[in-house]
Structure 1
Amino acid sequence: MIGSRLRQMRKRKNWTQTELADAIYTTKAAISHYELERSTPSKEMLVLLADVLETSVDFLLGRTDNPSPLQKEPQNIKLLENLAQQNPNIRIHLQNYKTGDIGYVQMLEIALSELATKRTSA
């Protein structure tokens, strides 16, 4: 499943395997192996592939048929806005997320880290 979804999203951007490989600092052979399902990308590589292909890891894994990235879904923005009301540090990063300076996954990691820090200091 990953291979066909990866190929679909790469072609959607009109990229060659070499162009995708260059975008994520890997080799054309690695991309070919992923697409042919001869090897499986690591979790970190999946996130990087999803980010650069402007899709979600869930789509690449076949957990959803919606190739649109999750960060574009309004309920996710609402969740982050609710978290930002609880923590001023999250509020600062939310502005970076809204301007596109950071992605949804990175924003969630920041929010979770901030909330964990708040809990341990309480």
Structure 2
Amino acid sequence: MRAPLRAWLLTAALLCGCGGSAAGPDPQSPEPASPVQLCTKLISYWAEQDLTGGKWAGLDWEQKGLSNEQYALYSDIVQAARAEQRRHGTDAALAWLRHRSAERCKAANGATGSSENWRPPT
């Protein structure tokens, strides 16, 4: 299976909740997730995987389904969250990265503009 297809399938599984995380959209919500919500969920999920040594932590940005701009945000957030983890523990770092992911994705309006392979949610 080609890497872009694998990345798309993995991202789709995460967003629909098939990955066993809170990364999927609310099934009660009639509205599709916005680019800001998708950015927040993707970055939070992958940063949590990195901090906790999750099974999928070693994937690259394309396999994670991130745009170039989202990957830059993710990298900054993971680096700062690791410092928070050293100072205050994993739980504090996870709470911090969730909050910071939401802030940064909102400020960047979903951080989708820099990737040629990004497509809006359908």
Greater RCO (Cα-Cα under 8 Å, separation 6 or more): 2
Name whichever structure is richer in helix by fraction.
1
Q: Which has the larger radius of gyration?
A: 1
TM-score (norm 2): 0.32
TM-score, normalising length: structure 1: 0.32
